[in-house]
Amino acid sequence: METTLIILKPDAVQRGIMGQIITRFENKGLQVVGAKLMKISQQLAATHYEAHSARPFYAGLVKFMTSSPVLVLAIRGNKAIEVSRNMMGATFGSKAAAGTIRGDFGVSNSFNLIHGSDSPEAAERELKLFFAAGEVQDWSRNADAWIYDMSGGKAE
């Protein structure tokens, strides 16, 4: 099972749609193994988005991400990164397909509601930025037997 970082950005928190977004992940069969409502500091935002520091949108992104609380989630499941990113939809809400989080809730090209790790390496790095040791839980769900076909010895 893979664990990924999901951030419900300030616009999702301010609009009161956190529950609807979490419900989508749980309905899909993904497991919430960590959750934290927090205000991201300037330093944490700068570290998290350092790969974009030379881009023209960087300063605005850091300002946006530090403007209001966010909900940080650790989500676990089979192919959790790929599944989550498909659920999120295209980066810009105006271009995201209906049925995706951004497609159903967003129209802005600046405010895009959600962040998700884009690779296992990014997930490992990002989870360590937002969760201290012991804050991401490892717990068994009885429902996993009804979510994943384990007859071949691994989750399918």
Tokens of 144: 């996993």
Q: Which of 105, 115, 116, 117 is catalytic?
A: 115
Would you say 107 and 93 are in contact if contact means Cβ atoms under 8 Å apart?
Answer: yes
3-state secondary structure of 70: strand
The DSSP symbol for 85 reads H
Q: CA-to-CA distance for 3 and 27, rounded, in angstroms? A: 17
d(C-alpha 108, C-alpha 1), whole Å: 33
- Catalytic residue list contains 52: no
Of 130, 155, 9, nearest in space to 74 by CA: 130
Q: Are 18 and 12 in contact (CB under 8 A)?
A: yes
Residues paired with 38 in a beta bridge: 70
Please list the active-site residues: 115
